[in-house]
């Protein structure tokens, strides 16, 4: 008997930096969400689209849930809340190598506000700790609530065994979706605009190796993208926004060396995406305390 086709939305939630974006990219099979060890890396509800024989899973990768300290933080939480009100399944990501803490319990409590969505626990980073610790964590997670499923996955997405785990996770998630037709075409992997994806790749490159304070203060906008007629080249003109002059110095580095490194890293990610050589011009600008300023947040796309 043929399985009915299912389509719908899933969102991964969890504390910042538990592997939500990495998991999204692994399931989609392409980089649609930037990753970094810094908190608040994801700032938008990014849609990744996964196609299977009997279903279409639309992953909405949200910012990490947290107790907000700025207007930006409040808006990021609003993005999460608006998203979770519409999805069919919520996957709560909890790392196997860290005991359940107050942040996890806070998020678990928030999930009660979304009775429509089915809840699954996704235990990430099971390769980063011992089997005994994983078993203890699974028991602790089971105590949090009555889950539809608890699914362990590995961090090492280049590991062949991780493909098996992802297939198990994908099968479970699709089985929980409502029956219905595909919502996107067969070749779609995201509904993010090219401009937004490029801005995010520039931000990801700039986040590499900076101090903990800076990531929250960094935003990227694209002024213009120009396709050259005389050669296979895309010209991109980007602005990197920070909150203070001292941060501008950090981004630029001694004699501009750090900004050159950022440019090289960004181009290496952007060129495979656009399929051609890229000329990237970046200017670093200061927007004083933009995280707390409603007008500036609006101008920067929040």
Contact 179, 152 (CB under 8 A): no
Q: What are phi and psi of 11, to 5 degrees?
A: -125, 135
Are 75 and 302 spatial neighbours (Cβ–Cβ below 8 Å)?
yes
Output DSSP code: residue 128. Answer: G
Domain regions of the chain by residue span: 6-175, 194-299
The yes-or-no verdict on residue 213 having pLDDT over 60 is no
- Do the Cβ atoms of 120 and 129 come closer than 8 Å? no
- End-to-end, the C-alpha distance of the chain in Å comes to 47
Among 12, 48, 57, 24, CA closest to 192: 48
Query: Which of 18-22, 146-150, 295-299 is predicted with the least confidence, judged by mean pLDDT?
Result: 295-299
Determine the pLDDT at residue 280: 93
HSE at residue 25, side-chain half, CA atoms within 13 A, is 16
* pTM score, whole prediction: 0.66
Whether the predicted pLDDT of 295 surpasses 60 = yes
Q: Is the pLDDT at 170 greater than 70, yes or no? A: yes
- pLDDT > 90 fraction of the chain, expressed in percent and rounded: 30
pLDDT of residue 179 exceeding 90:
yes
- pLDDT, tens only, 118-131: 999 999 888 888 99
Burial of 230 per CB tally in 10 Å (0-12, 13-18, 19+):
exposed
With a CB cutoff of 8 Å and minimum separation 6, the contacts of 257 are none
Whether pLDDT at 245 is above 90: no
Strands of 277-286's sheet, edge to edge?
Answer: 219-227, 233-242, 277-286
Look at residue 39 in the predicted model and tell me its pLDDT: 45
Class of domain 194-299: alpha beta
- The answer, yes or no, to whether residue 17 has pLDDT greater than 80, is no
Between helix 194-207 and helix 257-274 the angle, nearest 10°, is 140
Report residue 209's pLDDT band, with 50, 70 and 90 as the boundaries.
low
6-175: which CATH number, 2.30.30.20, 1.10.580.10, 3.30.930.10, 3.40.50.300? 3.40.50.300
Q: SS3 of 61, please?
A: strand
Please state the rounded mean pLDDT for residues 4-20: 85
Of 162-171, 239-248, 281-290, the range with the lowest mean pLDDT is: 162-171
The Cα 210–Cα 242 span in angstroms is 13
At 75, the pLDDT band (50, 70, 90 cuts) reads low
Convert the pLDDT of each residue in 84-136 to its tens digit.
778 899 999 999 999 999 989 988 998 998 999 999 999 988 888 899 999 99
Q: Give the other-Cβ count within 10 Å of 191's Cβ.
A: 13
Q: How far is CA 234 from CA 95, 199, 224, in A?
A: 40, 14, 10
How far are the Cα atoms of 12, 80, 173, 263, 290 from residue 66, in angstroms, in the given order?
Answer: 14, 10, 25, 31, 19
Q: What pLDDT digit, counting tens, does each position of 42-73 carry?
A: 445 567 889 999 999 988 876 656 566 666 66
Q: How far apart are CA 138 and CA 140, in angstroms?
A: 5
């Amino acid at each position: 008997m043929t399985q009915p086709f299912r389509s719908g939305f899933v969102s991964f939630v969890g504390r910042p930096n538990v592997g939500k974006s990495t998991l999204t990219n692994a399931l989609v099979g392409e980089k649609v969400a930037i990753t970094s060890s810094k908190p608040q890396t994801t700032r938008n509800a990014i849609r990744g689209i996964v196609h299977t024989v009997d279903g279409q899973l639309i992953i909405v990768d949200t910012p990490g849930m947290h107790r907000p300290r700025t207007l930006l933080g409040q808006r990021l939480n609003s993005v999460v809340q608006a998203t979770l009100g519409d999805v069919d399944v919520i996957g709560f990501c909890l790392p196997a190598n860290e005991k359940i803490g107050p942040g996890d319990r806070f998020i678990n409590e928030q999930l009660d506000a979304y009775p429509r969505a089915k809840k699954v626990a996704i235990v990430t980073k099971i390769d980063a700790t011992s089997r005994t610790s994983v078993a203890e964590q699974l028991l602790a997670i089971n105590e949090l609530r009555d889950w539809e499923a608890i699914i362990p996955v590995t961090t090492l997405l280049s590991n062949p065994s991780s493909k098996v785990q992802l297939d198990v996770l994908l099968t479970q998630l699709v089985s929980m979706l409502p029956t219905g037709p595909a919502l996107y075409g067969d070749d779609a992997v995201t509904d993010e605009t090219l401009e937004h994806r490029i801005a995010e790749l520039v931000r990801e490159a700039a986040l590499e190796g900076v101090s903990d304070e800076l990531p929250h203060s960094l935003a990227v906008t694209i002024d213009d993208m120009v396709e050259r007629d005389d050669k296979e080249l895309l010209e991109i003109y980007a602005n990197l926004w920070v909150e203070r002059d001292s941060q501008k110095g950090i981004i630029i580095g001694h004699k501009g060396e750090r900004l050159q490194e950022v440019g090289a890293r960004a181009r290496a990610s952007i060129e495979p995406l656009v399929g051609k050589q890229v000329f990237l011009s970046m200017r670093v600008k200061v927007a004083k305390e933009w995280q707390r300023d409603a007008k500036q947040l609006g101008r920067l796309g929040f």
